[in-house]
């Protein structure tokens, strides 16, 4: 289906910009808009965008145009999920601001400690290192067979400069990583740093990103998700007004067809809850429902997801921490979910005959998409066989959970460490984990504080359930 895309740099948009887009859409007779997998906004074909109304800040890509790829960033995760200590929201905004021209290649700028935004789905993937203001760069250009790591760490304020230089040199000829590095080093004066150790991406279960959640002492963040990815324009318009009223400056689009509003003042939480209630908005979908990545505007994928979610729900299957993707057959694609369901292509000579679709099921090595290594589990199966395959894989995931602690992404090798008894408790309401190894920085609990030593009035940092709602996660559950 031909669609018009509005590029939202880094997935960050102001309430004013979104309201202008909503007004433009309403004026053209639209009732809703959708979000794309690269944090962009999707319109049906025929939508016309006015540059003057938005001061040319946002970039439109019409169906007949190839140009324009969004910069994906994990700005959306800062302050609300695990993060690299030096990488603040403002730093993301400063780096994004350096990109004055619309990139031709796909760029990802991400924090490796968060799980919400994929690290390796771009042509150029800048990933924060532990050294303040320095980034790894992983490159896989459109015609490359494998991903290569740039030989040095890149300074924050050189990111855009290096991107544009790489875009320029690769547009002239097909070259490899060594030649790119040599040409960029010759042409630019940059503040690089030696790579002293390989990128380490810790594996954590995928976070819950919906509903009203605590942010620090006196604020909240709100994650909103529509099952059909059709966001009602009248709702969005009123929401933008509420953002203005609460002095909220940014709305963040996720790659999961959802968005997050950060910085809701504590004393306005009730106003937001009333607003959502009046609009009949459900903000507590199950993890089973939420963690899916589907192609935009394809009815077959939404119907398949609905069938699978309903079936798995009937079996009370837990999918905590797993993510699922549905895709047309595309082995060249860059998947970023734990489990992928591919629809097979029909042979050309059978396209006119009505035959049932068949599917392949793949899963990421150790169920960690950041390994970028997918294993084919089953091929050419019928839709009705898919639920039992997903149940089988979810059991495999829970059996392995805890035995894999870290993934070395320079060669996708994964080291296995001895499992240790850990003081790990889980909120039975929203499945948030308390691990004494990390403490709870949101509530000022330092690393090493055992769960039993937490204050009596300790509550879940996400859903505010009391301490009594936490249950011990035992190692035995992972040892079967």
The answer on pLDDT for 335 being more than 50 is yes
Give the pLDDT score at 407: 42
Write down the pTM of the prediction: 0.80
Give the Cα separation of 5 and 65 in Å (integer). 10
Cβ within 8 Å of residue 32, ≥6 positions away: 230, 231, 232, 233
3-202 and 289-401+411-416 have identical folds = yes
Give the Cα separation of 382 and 156 in Å (integer). 48
- What's the CA angle centered on 227, arms 224 and 231, to 5 degrees? 60
Instruction: Considering only residues 446 and 8, tell me which one the structure prediction assigns the higher pLDDT.
Output: 8
What is the DSSP secondary structure assignment for residue 1, as one 8-state letter? -
Angle between helices 233-245 and 269-278 (to 10 degrees): 170
The answer on pLDDT for 301 being more than 80 is yes
**pLDDT band (50, 70, 90) for residue 351:** low
Query: What fold, for 211-286?
Result: Sulfite Reductase Hemoprotein; domain 2 (3.90.480)
CATH value of 3-202 in 3.30.413, 3.30.43, 3.40.720, 1.10.3470: 3.30.413
User: Average pLDDT of 344-362?
Assistant: 75
Lowest pLDDT segment from 24-33, 159-168, 432-441: 432-441
Q: Which token pair is 329?
A: 């057959």
**pLDDT band (50, 70, 90) for residue 312:** confident
CA dihedral of 265, 269, 270, 274, whole degrees rounded to 10: 120
Query: What fold, for 424-478?
Result: Rubrerythrin, domain 2 (2.20.28)
User: Average pLDDT of 209-236?
Assistant: 90
Domain locations in the chain as residue ranges: 3-202, 211-286, 289-401+411-416, 424-478
Q: What is the pLDDT of residues 43-55, one digit of tens each?
A: 877 777 776 655 5
Q: Which token pair is 42?
A: 């999707």
Give the CATH class of 289-401+411-416.
alpha beta
Terminal CA-CA length for the chain: 46
Lowest pLDDT segment from 30-34, 80-84, 85-89, 431-435: 431-435
Q: Pairing between strand 124-128 and 107-110?
A: parallel
Decide: 160 and 98 in contact? Cβ < 8 Å. yes
Helix (H, G, I), strand (E, B) or coil at 332: coil
Q: What is the pLDDT of residues 142-181, one digit of tens each?
A: 888 888 999 999 999 999 999 999 999 888 777 889 999 9
**pLDDT band (50, 70, 90) for residue 245:** very high
The answer on pLDDT for 404 being more than 60 is no
Q: What is the pLDDT of residues 437-450, one digit of tens each?
A: 888 877 888 888 88
């Amino acid at each position: 289906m031909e669609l018009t895309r509005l590029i939202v740099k880094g997935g960050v948009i102001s309430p004013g910009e979104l309201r202008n887009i909503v007004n433009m859409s309403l004026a053209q007779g639209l009732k809703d808009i959708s979000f794309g997998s690269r944090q962009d906004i999707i319109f049906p074909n025929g939508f016309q965008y006015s540059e003057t109304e938005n001061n040319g800040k946002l970039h439109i890509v019409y169906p007949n145009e190839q140009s324009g790829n969004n910069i994906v960033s994990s700005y959306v995760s800062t302050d609300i999920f695990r993060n690299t200590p030096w990488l603040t929201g403002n730093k993301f905004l400063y780096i994004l601001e350096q990109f004055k021209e619309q990139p031709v290649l796909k760029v990802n700028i991400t924090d490796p400690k968060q799980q919400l935004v994929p690290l390796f789905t771009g042509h150029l993937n800048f990933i924060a290192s532990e050294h303040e203001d320095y980034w790894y760069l992983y490159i896989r250009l459109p015609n490359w067979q494998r991903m290569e790591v740039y030989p040095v760490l890149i300074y924050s304020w050189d990111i855009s400069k290096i991107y544009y230089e790489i875009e320029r040199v690769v547009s002239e000829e097909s070259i490899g990583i060594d030649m790119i590095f040599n040409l960029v080093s010759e042409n630019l004066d940059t503040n690089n740093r030696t790579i002293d150790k390989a990128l380490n991406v810790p594996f954590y279960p995928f976070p819950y990103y919906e509903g009203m959640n605590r942010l620090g002492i006196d604020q909240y963040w709100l994650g909103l998700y529509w099952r059909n990815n059709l966001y009602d324009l009248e709702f969005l318009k009123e929401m933008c007004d509420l953002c203005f009223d609460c002095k909220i400056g940014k709305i963040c689009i996720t790659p999961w067809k959802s968005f997050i509003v950060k910085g809701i003042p504590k004393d306005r939480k009730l106003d937001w809850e009333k607003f959502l209630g009046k609009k009949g908005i459900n903000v507590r979908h199950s993890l089973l429902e939420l963690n899916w990545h589907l192609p935009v505007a394809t009815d077959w994928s939404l119907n398949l997801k609905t069938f699978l979610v309903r079936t798995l729900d009937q079996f009370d299957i837990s999918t905590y921490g797993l993510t699922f993707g549905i895709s047309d057959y595309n082995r060249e694609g860059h998947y970023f979910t734990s489990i992928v369901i591919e629809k097979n292509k029909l042979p050309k000579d059978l396209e006119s005959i009505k035959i049932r679709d068949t599917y392949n099921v793949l899963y990421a090595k150790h169920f960690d998409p950041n390994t970028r290594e997918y294993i084919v589990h089953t091929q050419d199966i019928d839709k009705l066989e898919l639920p039992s395959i997903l149940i089988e894989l979810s059991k495999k995931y829970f059996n392995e959970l805890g035995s894999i602690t870290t993934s070395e992404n320079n060669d996708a090798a994964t080291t296995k460490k001895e499992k240790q008894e850990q003081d790990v408790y889980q909120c039975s309401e929203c499945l948030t984990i308390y691990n004494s190894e990390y403490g709870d920085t949101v509530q000022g609990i330092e690393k090493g504080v055992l769960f039993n030593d937490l204050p009596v009035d300790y509550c879940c940092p996400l859903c505010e359930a009391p301490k009594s709602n936490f249950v011990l996660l035992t190692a035995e559950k992972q040892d079967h």
